[in-house]
Amino acid sequence: MESWETITGAPEETCELGRLLGEFAFAGLVVLLNGDLGAGKTCFAQGVARGLAVSSASPVTSPSYTLLNIHHGRLPLYHFDLYRLSQVDDLEDLGYDEFAEGNGLTLIEWADRMKGALAASVSVSIETCAAQQRKLRFDALDKRGRELLEQLVRNWPVSI
Ligand code: ADP
Ligand code: MG
């Protein structure tokens, strides 16, 4: 499957989609996450952490001042937020390549800031439709991304 769209009607549903993705995630997966401020990127990331069984003692927050937060679960979660990043060099200084090529799950909020410079398996774009409604569009960018997307769709919706 190349792409898939769905609408969530509450933050819990967006979180639940993230949880499924976290559950099916494989080592080395890179996920690009885009959408305006308040779209629900961090909400989705919180679900991913849950799906990876990250302890609630290590909560996923909007890392406005930090470019990277690391959480430990079934796989390490490298949660980037590029909102404040101005150039690719800064990302390199941060050791981005080592994370993305490592054995964790790399999740990047505001990935579009790097304008296609980031290799990934899946891209998720979130759009605000109404106060509680969000449209989530998933695009598979390689073979493993397509397999992951198929698993996601097969298991959605779950009863929350
Ligand atoms: P971002 O990281 O994209 O800036 P956040 O995840 O921090 O956004 O915030 C999303 C906000 O939108 C939260 O306050 C959340 O409660 C609210 N919200 C309302 N409906 C939804 C929904 N369907 N999915 C995700 N978030 C939602
Ligand atoms: Mg955020």
What tens digit of pLDDT does each residue of 73-132 get? 999 999 999 998 877 788 888 899 999 999 999 999 999 998 778 999 999 999 999 999
* Mean pLDDT for the chain overall: 94
**Burial (0-12, 13-18, 19+ Cβ within 10 Å), 97:** exposed
Ligand 1 atom nearest residue 109's Cα: 2
DSSP 4-46: EEEEESSHHHHHHHHHHHHHH--TT-EEEEE--TTSSHHHHHH
What tens digit of pLDDT does each residue of 2-59 get? 999 999 999 999 999 999 999 999 999 999 999 999 999 999 999 999 999 999 999 9
Which pLDDT value is given to residue 64?
65
- The preferred substitution site among 31, 43, 107 for testing ligand 1, maximizing ligand atoms within 8 Å of CB, is 43
Ligand 1 atom nearest residue 37's Cα: 4
